[in-house]
Amino acid sequence: DTGVSQNPRHKITKRGQNVTFRCDPISEHNRLYWYRQTLGQGPEFLTYFQNEAQLEKSRLLSDRFSAERPKGSFSTLEIQRTEQGDSAMYLCASSSSGADYGYTFGSGTRLTVV
């Protein structure tokens, strides 16, 4: 068990460019979540997968955001036509059903849009 892995750790991009982040959850976890955290705020829910099915998307997730989890393993989060307001830490977490330990979070991807 190597924990939840996120890549890249940091990403600087120009406004209008597309970016993609990757999350590798703990292998036996069937649930995967994406959260976004800005400075001084707690994480905010973006989307949730159970196995390969995306079961919920927050209204924070505009049409420019898309997430996938092919074959129920790793997940990707893509942001198209980035805006300065997209600058944040993007956190991935995973869990298994009925776990008494909440989620296990990754270290996040810090996105800076310039």
Partner 1 sequence: EDQVTQSPEALRLQEGESSSLNCSYTVSGLRGLFWYRQDPGKGPEFLFTLYSAGEEKEKERLKATLTKKESFLHITAPKPEDSATYLCAVQGSGGSNYKLTFGKGTLLTVNP
Residues of this chain that interact with partner 1 (CB under 8 A) are 4, 6, 31, 33, 40-45, 48, 56, 91, 93, 100-108, 110
DSSP letter assigned to residue 21: E
By DSSP bridging, strand 88-95 and strand 109-113 are antiparallel
By DSSP bridging, strand 104-105 and strand 88-95 are antiparallel
| CB of 93 vs partner 1, minimal distance in Å | 8
| CB of 55 vs partner 1, minimal distance in Å | 8
In this complex, which beta carbon is closest to partner 1, that of residue 27 or of residue 97? Answer: 97
Q: Which of 53, 114, 54, 25 is nearest to 45 (CA)?
A: 54
In this complex, which beta carbon is closest to partner 1, that of residue 71 or of residue 101? Answer: 101
In this complex, which beta carbon is closest to partner 1, that of residue 22 or of residue 110? Answer: 110
Sheet with 5-7: strands ordered across: 5-7, 19-24, 75-79, 65-68
Q: Token pair of 84, please?
A: 């300065």
d(CA 30, CA 37): 23
| CB of 81 vs partner 1, minimal distance in Å | 27
In this complex, which beta carbon is closest to partner 1, that of residue 40 or of residue 85? Answer: 40
| CB of 18 vs partner 1, minimal distance in Å | 24
